Amino acid sequence: MRIAVYGKGGIGKSTISANLSAALAAAGEKVLQIGCDPKHDSTRLLHHGQKVTTVLDYILNTPADDQKPEDILMNGFMGCGCIEAGGPRPGKGCAGRGILTSFEFLNKHNVFSGYSTVVYDVLGDVVCGGFAVPVRKQYAEAVFLVTSGEAMSVYAANNILHGIRNLDPDGKRIAGIIYNSRGAGDEKERVLAFADAVGLPVCLSIPRSSAFLQAEKNACTLVEEDKDLPESMLFLAFAEKLIKGIPLYPASPLGEEEMELFMRGRLTVHPASETEKNDDGCGIVPVPEAAAGVSDGYRIPQKRALSDPFSRIPLFGCAFRGAVDLAVHVKDAAVLAHAPKSCTWYAVNGLSSYGRRGLFDRGILYPAFIPQRFSATDIDVKDAVFGGVEHARQKAFELAKRGVKTIIAVTACIPGLSGDDLQPVKEELRQHGIQMYIVHTDGVEAGDYNEGMALCYKTLAKEAVGPADSPDPDSINIVYEQTFSSDADENYAAVENILSLLGIRVNCRFLCAASVKDIKGFLNAPYSILARKDRLGLELKKIFEDNYGCKFTEDEFPEGFGRTADFAEKLGKLYAKEERAAELVRESRRRYDEELSGLRRVFSGMRTMIFLSRKYAWLEELVKDLGLDVIGASIPGTSEALNAEWNHRFSRQWETDRDAFARTVSELKPALILTGDPSVIPDPPEGCTVIPVKRTIRKGFFSAVQEARKWTDYLGRQLKGRWRDDRPVFEKYYT
């Protein structure tokens, strides 16, 4: 027989568990009691308050090869086995994870063998997975809920029922309620009403009695103190009933609204009909007033199903990974991953794969993707229980000994769960002249990959920027480049070339191949360019404006000749370099027209249709400059231009416009189709070429010309081939 006693902290479940164990032992059972509470005081009445070595303390301080089950097992009254799981020090680690670790130890050493009855004393106002182990892992066959009539105690009992139903929705695991009286008001009526509402019997009613206090003063149970006491006889009789067997019930907790009505005395419980009775004859079914959803003058909120699978942005990896991938771009800082080895491997392998791929496939070396100073704490399950701050401190000082002056620490899930606080480590490092920036992603706690990058950006923007020490009026900052892009280096080179020809130096790239000195000297430049104007970019811009009074240029990195010319002219005016800007635009226009002349001979007059999710200014300009004859265009995403492209792409409007576009293509028979989604025309007409158009292109004066050159590769291609009509091949080899 395996029994779990759950209840709110301080409700008396440890006293009840110990007295129940003593009564079962007196009735001839071989009993093992396991205290599943960090306070580790569950079994003290069974062994007269002797010091017990908890399982977690034992695991922490004893090498695995030297561990023996008898070292954590103490024999108490009438041979009752006594075990305390224990927990980490208050405020550190994760007690729930500690319970999991303790049970793994008990299973490994076969501690349960030799006992006919096991009693688990479990903290019940914390309903995390660790404290649910006795139910979740099928250790406990019967669960008792200990409660008084106090509101918080009843709430805790209802929460425990929720947890058990979530873990075992179709099972019958609840033995009933143990009512532990506090001797206050009408609490008995409330407990009986709650029992009726959730369809459970009150199996044992324990009066408020000084006999319990006297026994506890003597550090023993009532059964040991005096088995003839009325209170002792209650437990002895209850033990006999348990040994004979008792019915079990399903968990039927009250809903949130029902619980609120119950605590206000407004939940009506009607006697169940014969058909509504549980198989065990419970006969109680809770029926809230106004089942239609309106009660007491307000409407009970109804749950709504997620009808639109595309209504939320999907996740692309955890925040820890995103923060690490950005942090490595600070060239002379060390990245300290406070994470398990598996998370570290995943992060390092991911961020370096881009550099390896560029080197092996294209012969290009991207130093930013080869971490120079990367360390990890490699925390494990034990650290999840007791906390891993000391590991982080040790690794940080190892980096300091290697000459590192700046550390960016990024936290994974386990430090977040165990509550590791690296702030004291940061303060200690500061006393040694080492600066640490802590990016609290806590694995997935901060969100997905993009949210992790955002948090790293924001942390360094708020904490790493120093006062202006060497102002340079002819310099500028570049903020928020797209670091993980095959075009990142080319885009920077194009913009940097424009700036250089204007006589403007790049002061800091935040954050892309930047040094700590660059970031600290961010304010030395009078202006900054926001490379991309999406939501995060605008948030960063606001941080720099609000915190430091920074000024930003009007434009982002430009695409196409027209926007690039405007970009250069505005910079020339801003930095009083108008003549240089005018000369740069004139020379670029000459080269642009020269390179475009050959392309015009290919594309001029070509009948063209366009299907895009939104308008692209560079494309409009290029189509005009090439002399394309646009005979039709469909841009269904225009009205939703601020939404993510994937969101409206799957809408009915998109499908309607796509089908209409396909019909128009068959009627007008264009020679060229420009589209961001080639699947809109899976079978183009004979002689028609479909050219995919990217949402973004490389930056600078000649970016659109580069795209047009790529288009020429599509012209003249024979799109029909065996891969387009593979049925004969399939029939030949597979049928």
Residues that are catalytic: 8, 13, 39, 125
> CB-based burial of residue 635 (10 Å sphere; 0-12 exposed, 13-18 middle, 19+ buried)?
middle
CA dist 355 and 312 (Å) reads: 32
Q: Output DSSP code: residue 675.
A: E
159 φψ region: left (φ > 0), alpha (ψ -120 to 50), beta (else): alpha
CA dist 349 and 136 (Å) reads: 35
CA 229 from centre of chain: 55
CA dist 218 and 45 (Å) reads: 8
265 φψ region: left (φ > 0), alpha (ψ -120 to 50), beta (else): left
Three-class SS of residue 590? helix
Give which of 684, 567, 696, 701 is closest to 625, Cα–Cα. 701
Angle CA 86–89–90, to nearest 5: 110
> CB-based burial of residue 643 (10 Å sphere; 0-12 exposed, 13-18 middle, 19+ buried)?
middle
Q: Output DSSP code: residue 249.
A: B
CA dist 146 and 8 (Å) reads: 8
Q: In what order do the strands lie in the sheet with 202-206?
A: 74-75, 81-84, 31-36, 117-123, 2-7, 142-147, 174-180, 202-206
Residue 415 CA: distances (Å) to CA of 56, 307, 435, 449? 18, 36, 20, 18
CA dist 619 and 697 (Å) reads: 10
DSSP alpha helices (H): ranges in 610-723?
A: 617-626, 645-649, 652-668, 703-714
E strand or H helix at 484: none
Residue 126 tokens read as 């914390």
Largest Cα separation within the chain, whole Å, is 110
